[in-house]
Amino acid sequence: MLTKTELAELLEDHQQPAYRATQILDWIYQKRTRSWDEMSNLPPALREALAQQYPLRPLTHTLTKGSADTTRKFLLQLPDERYIETVLIPASPALYGEKSDRHTLCVSSQVGCAYGCKFCASGLDGFTRNLKASEIVSQIILAEELSGEKVNNLVFMGMGEPLANFTNLTKALEIITSDWGLNIGARRITVSTSGLVPQIKKLALLPQQIRLAISLHGPDDQTREKIMPVNKKYDVDELFGALRVWNANKKQKITLEYILIDGINASTTHAQTLARRAQSINAKVNLIPYNTVEGLPWVRPSDDDCRHFRNVLTKANVSATLRLEKGHDIDAACGQLRLKKEKNEI
């Protein structure tokens, strides 16, 4: 999939007039054409040449799992026969401040993940490869086609660590936010990271006002290191240093994602430390009771313990949401469905 600049260069190579770029972008992103053959206002030789190099549909839909609350999870196959997942959530979490008639799509950025967080299905099989920008953008186009719904919010919270795929992520963001592309407002896009400090600082300098979510899951080094190996590379203080750089460049509040795991990170002391951390960067907190992953030992605390944890934050004047569970019954935690497919369980 092409950006406007790439297309302009390509057309120059083919000695084509510049207005062809507008025609082609319109076919790809507005008319959502499935093949170059359909681009009837282009010379056939050009269509053929570009079709060889730039397949318009790199993803094949393999299966959809729908849950009782109509969250739908799409399993998609890549040209090299790997699988990725995309999840469409009808009512966006209150956290993102949107009305409930909105549709949020949760996209993947890599096949697998190299960061190996101890609670996460995506990291279980290690890292395979980065997704290309076209494979990221196609998840949105395909989800809209399969569901008949318009995607209004986008979260990079599927499989993979988006900031470890920085070049393709920023190219995809350009296509997604541009008026010649998918034209989704940057404020409706959230990139989630496990805390890659140099890339957070780089991303802060992008012109688009995208939102940032941090998978924190532990408010101090001792707790975080137990479940997130990335903390050995970038500790909590360094991470918060990068978040202050983010705040200096962006207007929207940062979201701290915090999975509640019984006996690990869910005590009152953890809540108090988290509250201080959140206050220090004026962040809001999204609490997620742990979603069971087959083969992993972790469990979520009781509902009462989860509510108590939230109350500690609220009393400290930190805005905190306790996520109303969606998609629990369709293996919605990242990487779970793809793992089953690769183990031939579905």
258 binds ligand SAH (CB under 6 A): no
Shortest distance, position 137 Cβ to ligand SAH, whole Å: 17
Partner from ligand SF4, ligand SAH, none binding residue 147, C-beta < 5-8 Å depending on class: none
Output 27 or 258, the one with its CB closest to ligand SAH.
258
Taking alpha carbons only, the member of 216, 219, 208 closest to residue 181 is 208
Residue 225 is among the residues annotated as catalytic for this protein: no
By CB under 6 A, the count of residues binding ligand SAH is 18
Q: How far apart are CA 335 and CA 339, in angstroms?
A: 6
Does residue 134 touch ligand SF4 according to CB under 6 A?
A: no
List the one residue out of 36, 176, 21 whose CA is nearest residue 109.
176
Site for ligand SF4 (CB under 6 A): how many residues? 12
Q: Which residues contact 236 (CB under 8 A, 6 or more apart)?
A: 218, 219, 220, 221, 224, 277
Site string for ligand SAH, 104-143 (x = CB under 6 A): ---------x-----xx-----------------------
Q: Contact 27/33 with Cβ under 8 angstroms?
A: yes
Residue 137 and residue 57: Cα distance in Å, rounded? Answer: 10
Out of 85, 135, 257, 331, point to the residue binding ligand SAH (CB under 6 A): 257
Distance (Å, whole) CA 137 – CA 124: 25
Give the footprint of ligand SF4 on residues 39-58 (CB under 6 A).
Answer: none
Report the half-sphere exposure of 28 (CA within 13 A, side-chain side).
31
291 counts as binding ligand SAH under rule CB under 6 A: yes
Using the rule CB under 6 A, give the single segment among 18-26, 74-82, 190-198, 238-246 that binds ligand SAH.
190-198
Determine whether 334 is an active site residue.
yes
Beta carbon nearer to ligand SAH, 147 or 265: 265
Beta-carbon count within 10 A of 239 CB: 22
Asked if 117 touches ligand SF4 (CB under 6 A), the answer is yes
Q: Please report which residue ranges of the chain form alpha helices under DSSP H.
A: 4-13, 19-25, 44-53, 133-147, 166-177, 197-203, 221-227, 230-233, 236-249, 268-280, 303-315, 336-342
Is 177 a binding residue for ligand SF4 by CB under 6 A? The answer is: no
With beta carbons less than 8 A apart as the criterion, state whether 284 and 250 touch: no
Choose one: 41-49, 112-120, 203-211, 313-321; the region binding ligand SF4 (CB under 6 A).
Answer: 112-120
Kindly list the catalytic residues: 85, 334
Contacts with ligand SF4, residue ranges (CB under 6 A): 113, 115-117, 120, 122-123, 160-161, 194, 215, 334
